[in-house]
Amino acid sequence: MPEDLPGIVRLRDRREAMTLRTILTAARGLFTERGYARTPIRLIAQQAGVSPQTIYAHFGSKAGVLTGLVDLLDDEAGLPDLIRTVDDLDDPRELLGLLARAARQIGERCGDIVAILRSGAAVEPDIAATQAEGWRRNRLAVEMVIRRIRDTGTPVDPRAGDVVAALMRPGVHNSLVIEAGWSHDEYESWLAETLAGTVLT
């Protein structure tokens, strides 16, 4: 059948991916503007130009849309690209610099998504679980980099994973960039140096 041709399948996949991204972008804007609790699915659908049934079919619920925002965060912050470079590096400071870059890009490009998750987690247990999944992914990336540093033979503080995860928290970024007025470059540079000075023994 013509619909089984690879080009048509790829086109259908691209169309579906565009629809998902349109829904997530609409939800992101509305959750930021109105708050998670005050944003109904029908409004997201209206903003995205789709039916509410389309959203339910793809995400299952409003909490499912929020879970999709975690994937969008990973993509927009460029995290997959950063993770792919880990195996190409063997300098511990450069590896910790990757983590500083990841924290910077999350704060700079996706701070609104982080804030949405935080506010949503306060009112709905499913969202708290989604937020926890985001932290779990972050911790896995941290542990991967720490393991890579250890593989180079560099001594590392035994609690390096805990320390790095704590320093990469959005609250640190917000305190320095939003409240204290640091530039993102200053924040990233400070974080890379702080991680190296704290973790490398």
Two structure tokens written together for 168: 């990469």
Instruction: Check residue 11 and give its pLDDT.
Output: 55
Residue 2 to residue 7: CA distance in whole angstroms: 10
Instruction: Check residue 152 and give its pLDDT.
Output: 93
Residue 44 to residue 122: CA distance in whole angstroms: 21
Instruction: Check residue 1 and give its pLDDT.
Output: 40
Instruction: Check residue 5 and give its pLDDT.
Output: 47
Residue 32 to residue 47: CA distance in whole angstroms: 14
Give the residue ranges of the chain where pLDDT is below 70.
1-12
Strand partners, 156: 200
**Local structure of residue 176 (DSSP, 8 states):** I
Write the single-letter amino acid at 106: I
Domains of the chain: 1-60 (1.10.10.60), 64-201 (1.10.357)
Instruction: Check residue 8 and give its pLDDT.
Output: 43
18, 51, 56, 75 from 23: Cα distances, Å: 9, 10, 11, 15
Write the single-letter amino acid at 20: L
* DSSP notation for 59-114: HSSHHHHHHHHHHHHHHHTTHHHHHHTGGG---HHHHHHHHHHHHHHHHHHHHHHH
User: How does pLDDT run across 10-38, given as a tens digit for each residue?
Assistant: 556 788 889 999 999 999 999 999 988 89
Two structure tokens written together for 112: 């609104």
Instruction: Check residue 63 and give its pLDDT.
Output: 85
